[in-house]
Chain A
Amino acid sequence: MSEMRRVTAICNGTVVDHIPAGKSLRVMQMLGVSVGRSNPISLVMNVPSGKIGRKDVLKIEDRELTQEELDRLALIAPNASVAIIRNYSVAEKRQIELGEELVNIARCTFWNCITQDPREPLPHKLRVVSKNPLEIRCSYCGRSQTIDQLAESII
């Protein structure tokens, strides 16, 4: 990048790059890093990206996100790239993977699904029927859900 670095490198932690522009606040919310945490967080929004046009970048210091935590992002940032940083160097690169079933990540959006009753205690489950083209259905009612719908019903 020829322009000046917007955020300094971190010593230890996790960098989530190539987040679709404007989605980083939702990413923080899904990772549970937005409130009540002491880790320093750096956020860059809406910067140019050769890969996706515009992107957000999130740097979380002193916390290494697990693969399970990262996979929660598959619905809103499926192509994000993740680097685990140790002593200013990239120690590991991780990819976000869309599993076969999403448990307690998003609610079914169908108005008459049994899971619409907030007192029902079983987990919210969505089944990935196909990855290409992407098709996701509620494991209970079977209704197809679009990514845009699900992004609005993230738990």
Chain B
Amino acid sequence: MSALGFVGGHGMSDLITMDDLSNDEILEILDAAERLLPVANGDVYAPLLQGKVLGNLFFENSTRTRMSFESAMKRLGGEVVNLSSVGSSVAKGETLYDTMQMVDGYSDIAVIRHPRQGAAQYSADAIGIPILNAGDGAGNHPTQTMLDLFTIRQAHGTLDGLNVVLVGDLRYGRTTHSLSHALVRFGAKLTLVSPDSLRMPTEIVGDLQSYDTEVIESENLSGAIADADVIYMTRIQKERFPDEDEYAKVAGIYKMTVDDLAGAKSGMIVMHPLPRVDEIDPSVDSTEHARYFQQAFNGVPIRMALLCRSLGVEVPKEVSG
């Protein structure tokens, strides 16, 4: 366990932002996840992480991220200990630093979601076990990005040079912050569609524009559909708005129906990190374009691959029970 103070940055085993992974590492992780698909499906049992314990720390609500991490760890033979802010000493006012000292002792790796931005990096500095960022405020959500990239590659066979449209809450949406950073590294052309009040933060747009690719900001979704390879819808996140009146002005601004997709390319996929409210009409679910439920499932194989990487366990070329 660490003494009070700075442990010394995060090592190769942490995943805090997409900057922690090179393009080659991203592709290696996607390949490993591909090999782990039969394990994620439950067709093969491969106890690669037997004897290891995952600390699943959710200080904010989660369905998919929490469950898919737990499923990933258990399908690989590992164990999971859970913590949520309700029903723990966090509710009594314990600092994140103190909480993390316990986690350091109780588990071999930790996944953290926290409403405060920077909480994952702070945790990585506080203790020595690997930390995986599962969402820090409006900051980053790199494991979501990895499953998004996995889904995109499944559909298009490549990540290179795609035309991707990100739609909705780009100001507070951590999934789009992480995903956009990753996509420009693979030469994607990005169209950022949002109302003016929810535009992508300027420092992120500046980062994106420093790559040799096209980044367009727009308020118009319908004009972006025809050329898109991927349309990534997001929810307007009520919980991130400091002011309820501001939320009311933009709630429900983008609603995709099956009619909107009439002019879309045949291979175009519609993604969404979920949960959705009314951004995608259920009529879209049965089209060839809908990929969001597959995307949610892909959280299991990708998180298996990430857990293995952070714990220094190699995924065999042939995965068998």
In angstroms, Cα B97 to Cα A139, docked, is 16
Given that A119-B95, A121-B95 are contacting pairs, would A114 and B5 also be in contact in the complex, using a CB cutoff of 8 Å? Answer: no
Contact A114 B6 (CB under 8 A): no
Contact B126 A114 (CB under 8 A): no
Given that A122-B125, A140-B122 are contacting pairs, would A112 and B138 also be in contact in the complex, using a CB cutoff of 8 Å? Answer: yes
Contact A116 B122 (CB under 8 A): no
Chain A interface, >50% SS class: loop
* Chain A neighbourhood of B126, CB < 8 A: 122
* Chain A neighbourhood of B114, CB < 8 A: 114
Which of A108, A117, A138, A140 lies at the interface centre, i.e. has the most chain B CB atoms within 10 A of its CB? A140
A86-126: which have CB < 8 Å to B?
A: 108, 110, 112-117, 119-123
Contact B118 A123 (CB under 8 A): no
Contact A140 B121 (CB under 8 A): yes
In angstroms, Cα B114 to Cα A115, docked, is 13
Looking at A30-38, A40-48, A59-67, A141-149, the stretch in contact with chain B turns out to be A141-149
Contact B4 A141 (CB under 8 A): no
Q: Residues of A within 8 Å of B, CB-based: how many?
A: 21
B103-124: which have CB < 8 Å to A?
A: 114-119, 121-122
Q: When each residue 2-16 of chain B gets 1 if its CB lies under 8 Å from chain A and 0 otherwise, what string results?
A: 001110000000000
Total of A-B residue pairs, C-beta within 8 Å: 64
A140 to chain B, nearest CB (A): 3
Indicate the size class of the contact surface on chain B: 20 to 34
Given that A113-B118, A114-B122, A122-B122 are contacting pairs, would A141 and B137 also be in contact in the complex, using a CB cutoff of 8 Å? Answer: yes
B134-150: which have CB < 8 Å to A?
A: 136-140
Contact B137 A112 (CB under 8 A): yes
Contact B97 A120 (CB under 8 A): yes
**B17 contacts the other chain (CB 8 A):** yes
Contact B97 A141 (CB under 8 A): no
B24 to chain A, nearest CB (A): 23
In angstroms, Cα B97 to Cα A115, docked, is 11
In angstroms, Cα B93 to Cα A119, docked, is 10
In angstroms, Cα B119 to Cα A139, docked, is 11
In angstroms, Cα B71 to Cα A103, docked, is 40
Contact A141 B5 (CB under 8 A): no
Contact A139 B121 (CB under 8 A): yes
Interface residues of B (CB under 8 A from A): 4-6, 17, 95-97, 114-119, 121-122, 125-126, 136-140, 203
22 pairs, CB–CB < 8 Å, chain A vs chain B? A112-B115, A114-B117, A114-B122, A116-B116, A117-B95, A117-B96, A117-B116, A119-B95, A120-B95, A120-B96, A120-B97, A122-B97, A122-B122, A122-B125, A122-B126, A123-B6, A138-B118, A140-B119, A140-B125, A141-B116, A141-B121, A143-B203
